[in-house]
Amino acid sequence: MNNKIMNTENTLKLRKTTLTQRVEDAEKQWIIDQGIHQNSRLIEGRFLSSRFGNGFSIDGGNIDELTNTRIVSVASSALIITILLEGTLKFGYDDLAFDLDSKNQAVGIAVNLTKPANFRRDVLQSNHVKKLHLMFTPEWIRNRLGSHCDIAEFIQEHKNNAFFQITPSIYKMTSDIICFKNSDSFSQKIKLEAMSYKLLSEIIEQLIISKKNKILTIKNNHAVEHSSSIPMQIVANKDIHKTVENMLGYIEKNLSQPLCLETIAQKFSMSISNLQRKFKQELGLTVKNYIRYRRLEIAKYHLEQGLISVTEASYEAGYHHPANFTHAFKKTFGHPPKNFAKH
C-alpha cells in the first residue's frame, strides 16, 4: 500500500485558497476560488453532499482537479472517514499529513478530532479523484456508544487515526453512494441515509479487525506545546453543554468572517449576558477571548507552513496593525510571529 503519514510538506509550489464556492449547472459542477484569484476554477465534476440533520453528513464526488492550490480551512470536531477509490489525495489536520494513492488499491482511513483542527488539502492539476467522506459529530457518536464498544478508546483521543481494509462490498457500496443522484425526494433521502449506515457498519467492523490485528492502527504521538494560558482541552471536554458545543461549531465555521456577540446571541436565541455567562461557565473564558485565540492559532499554523507572511497573518487574524498582532501573538505563544514563520 503506497500510503503514508507525513510530517513534511510537499516541494510542489501551491498557492493558498481560503474561500471557495460550489457552482452548478445541468451537466457539471465546479468549485471556484473566491479569494485573490476570484472565479478561478479549482475542481470540476459531480459532487455528492448530504446533511442528515442528526450530526451525520456525507460528502464526495467523481471529480477532476484543474490547478495546483492548497485549500485551507478549519475542521470541526468529528469522526471523519475518508474512502479513496481513484486518484491521489493529500490532506492533513494540524501536524498530521496524509498522502493517499489508490493506484494499487482503494484506501480507507478514519481520523478522530475531539476538537477543531486546521485543515488543508492539496489540489493537484490533472488529478482525477473518486472519493467519499463520512462525518459524525461527537454527540452523534456518544448517543450510540454502548457499555462495551470496541472503538470507544479510538474515539476518545484527539487525532487518533487508522487505516482500514477496503473489502469488495465496501468498494461497491462506496461507489454506489458516490454515483447516487442528489434528490429532494423523501424516499431518496431515506435510501441514501440507509446506504450510508450500512457502509458505516462494515467500516467499523474493519476498524475493529485492524485494532485486534495491530497492523494498520496508527496513533498520533506528536505533542504540540502551547504557552498560552487558554487550555485547548476545553473544546475536547465531553461534558460541554450542547448549546455551547453548537456555539463552538458556529464560531469555527465563521472564524474568517466578522463575529460579534450580538450576531452569536441572536443565532442561538439568547441575550448577550446569557451567552457570556454560559460560555464562561462551561469553558472558563469569554467568547471574545476564545475567538481571538483561535484566530491567532490559525495564523500561527499558516506561518509555520510558509503559506503567508507576518503581515498577511496579522490581517488574517483580524488585526489592522501588525504591531498589535505581534504583541498579542507573543503574549499568547511566548515568541513573536517571525520566530514561527517558515521562509
In a domain, 322, yes or no: yes
In a domain, 226, yes or no: no
CATH of the domain at 128: 2.60.120.10
Distance CA 141, CA 200 (A): 12
Domain total in the chain: 2
Sequential DSSP letters for 175-188: HHHHTPPP---HHH
Q: Are residues 160 and 300 in the same domain?
A: no
Q: Which of 188, 218, 248 is the last residue of a domain?
A: 218
Q: What confidence score (pLDDT) does residue 132 get?
A: 95
Distance CA 161, CA 168 (A): 22
Q: Which of 166, 192, 218 is the last residue of a domain?
A: 218
Q: Which of 218, 251, 274 is the last residue of a domain?
A: 218
In a domain, 136, yes or no: yes
Sequential DSSP letters for 223-255: -----SSS-GGGGG-TTS-HHHHHHHHHHHHTT
Q: Are residues 278 and 155 in the same domain?
A: no
Which tens digits make up the pLDDT trace of 157-179?
889 998 888 988 899 999 999 98
Domain boundaries, position 314 = 232-339
100-115 per-residue burial string, b: 16 or more CB within 10 A, e: under 16: bbbeeebbbbbbbbbb
CATH of the domain at 249: 1.10.10.60
Cα 211 from chain centre:
24
Q: Are residues 28 and 94 in the same domain?
A: yes
Q: Are residues 15 and 120 in the same domain?
A: yes
Residue 67's CB: how many other CB atoms inside 10 A? 17
Q: Are residues 70 and 192 in the same domain?
A: yes
Q: Are residues 126 and 17 in the same domain?
A: yes
How many residues are recorded in the chain?
343
Q: Are residues 237 and 99 in the same domain?
A: no
Which tens digits make up the pLDDT trace of 295-323?
888 888 778 777 788 888 888 888 888 89
Q: What confidence score (pLDDT) does residue 198 get?
A: 93
Closest CA to 307 of 19, 72, 75, 7: 72
Q: What confidence score (pLDDT) does residue 24 get?
A: 59
- 284 Rama class: left (phi>0) / alpha (psi -120 to 50) / beta: left
In a domain, 224, yes or no: no
Q: Yes or no: say if 280 and 244 are a contact pair by the CB < 8 Å rule.
A: no
In a domain, 114, yes or no: yes
Q: Yes or no: say if 64 and 43 are a contact pair by the CB < 8 Å rule.
A: yes
Say what the pTM is: 0.63
Q: Are residues 166 and 244 in the same domain?
A: no
Residues of the chain with pLDDT under 70: 1-39, 147-150, 182-183, 210-240, 342-343
Q: Are residues 31 and 59 in the same domain?
A: yes
